[in-house]
Chains A and B, each alone.
Chain A
Amino acid sequence: MTTSPNSYADKAAEVAARATPERLVVRVRALSDRAIAWLFIAPTIVLLLAINIFPLFWAIYLSFTNFRANRPNAEVKHVGLDNYTRVLNDPDIWVSMQTTAHFVFWTILLQTLIGFALAYLIDRKFRGHAFWTTLILIPMMLSPAVVGNFWRFLYEPQIGLFAYAVSFLTGIPTSEIQMLGSVNLAPWAIIIVDTWMWTPYVMLICLAGLRSIPDYIYEAAEVDRASNWRQFWSITVPMALPFIMLAVLFRGIENFKMFDMVNLLTGGGPGSTTEVASITLKRDAFEAWATGRSSAFAIVLFVAVFGLANIYVKALNRVKQR
Chain B
Amino acid sequence: MSSAKAPSAKTTSVNAAHSVVEPSSRSKRIAATLVIVYAVVTMVPLVWIFLTSIKSPPDSISYPPKILFTPSIEGYCNLFTTRTRQTAEYIASLPEPDGVCDAVTRQRNMVIAGSSNFLPRFANSLIIAFGSTFLAVGLGTLAAYGFSRFKVPLADDLLFFILSTRMMPPIAVAIPIYLMYRQLGLSDTALGMMLLYTAVNVSLAVWLLKGFIDEIPREYEEAAMIDGYSRLQAFRKVVLPQATTGIAATAIFCLIFAWNEYAFASLLTSGSAQTAPPFIPTIIGEGGQDWPAVAAGTTIFLVPILVFTILLRKQLLRGITFGAVRK
- Interfacial residues, chain A to chain B (CB-CB below 8 A): 3, 6-7, 10-11, 13-14, 29, 32-34, 36-38, 40-41, 43-45, 47-48, 50-56, 58-59, 62, 69, 114, 118, 121-122, 124-129, 132-147, 149-154, 158-161, 164, 174, 196, 200-201, 204-205, 208, 211, 215-224, 226, 231, 234-235, 243, 246, 250, 253, 256-257, 259-260, 263-264, 278, 281-282, 285-286, 291, 294-295, 298-299, 301-302, 305-306, 308-310, 312-313, 316-317, 319-320
Contacts and interface: CB of A to CB of B under 8 A. Distances in A.
Contacts of B146: 36-38, 40-41
B172 A281 contact: yes
Given A151-B45, A309-B167, 11 more contacts: A6-B232, A47-B198, A52-B165, A58-B179, A114-B38, A143-B302, A149-B280, A161-B45, A278-B171, A285-B174, A305-B168
A257 B169 contact: yes
Interface string B152-184: 100000101111110111111111111110000
Given A37-B152, A40-B146, A143-B259, A136 B42 contact: yes
B7 interface: yes
A199 to B, nearest CB: 8
Nearest to B229: A14
Nearest to B146: A40
Q: For chain B, give the interface size range.
A: 35 or more
B170 A259 contact: yes
Contacts of B176: 54-56, 58-59, 62, 295
Give 5 nearest A-B pairs by CB, closest first. Answer: A145-B262, A298-B172, A55-B176, A143-B260, A40-B146
A221 B5 CA distance: 8
Given A154-B45, A259-B170, A291-B175, A118 B294 contact: no
A132 B197 CA distance: 32
Given A122-B31, A205-B325, A142 B142 contact: no
Nearest to B199: A51
Contacts of B295: 150, 153
B231 A33 contact: yes
Contacts of A316: 321-322, 324
A264 B281 contact: yes
Which interface residue of B175, B262, B313, B320 has the most chain A CB atoms within 10 A? B175
24 contacts: A6-B232, A36-B146, A41-B152, A51-B196, A59-B175, A122-B31, A134-B310, A135-B43, A137-B309, A138-B42, A142-B46, A143-B301, A159-B61, A164-B64, A196-B45, A222-B20, A260-B277, A263-B263, A264-B281, A291-B179, A298-B175, A301-B172, A306-B164, A313-B163
Interface in B136-151: 139-140, 142-143, 145-147, 149-150
Interface of B: 2-8, 10-11, 17, 20-21, 23, 27-29, 31-32, 34-36, 38-39, 42-46, 48-49, 52, 60-65, 139-140, 142-143, 145-147, 149-150, 152, 158, 160-165, 167-180, 195-196, 198-199, 202-203, 206, 228, 230-232, 256, 259-263, 266-267, 276-278, 280-281, 289, 291, 294-295, 298, 301-302, 305-306, 308-310, 313, 316-317, 320-322, 324-325, 327
Nearest to B282: A149
Given A40-B146, A137-B316, A150-B49, A126 B7 contact: no
A215 B146 CA distance: 38
A309 B230 CA distance: 39
B150 A139 contact: no
Contacts of A36: 146, 150, 231-232
Given A139-B42, A205-B325, A220 B3 contact: yes
Contacts of A250: 321
Contacts of A149: 280-281, 294, 298
Contacts of A215: 17, 21
Given A47-B202, A301-B169, A224 B140 contact: no
A153 B289 contact: yes
B173 A118 contact: no
Contacts of B64: 164
A229 B269 CA distance: 55
B48 to A, nearest CB: 6
B35 A299 contact: no
Q: Mostly helix, strand, loop or mixed at chain A's interface? A: helix
Contact of A142 (B143, B198, B260, B280): B260
A150 B306 CA distance: 17
B317 A205 contact: yes
Contacts of A216: 7, 17
Nearest to A230: B3
B294 A153 contact: yes
Contacts of B46: 138-139, 142
A286 B267 contact: yes
A150 B5 CA distance: 54
Contact of A159 (B63, B143, B161, B308): B63
Contacts of B278: 145
A118 B325 contact: no
Contact of B169 (A129, A153, A204, A278): A278
A93 to B, nearest CB: 14
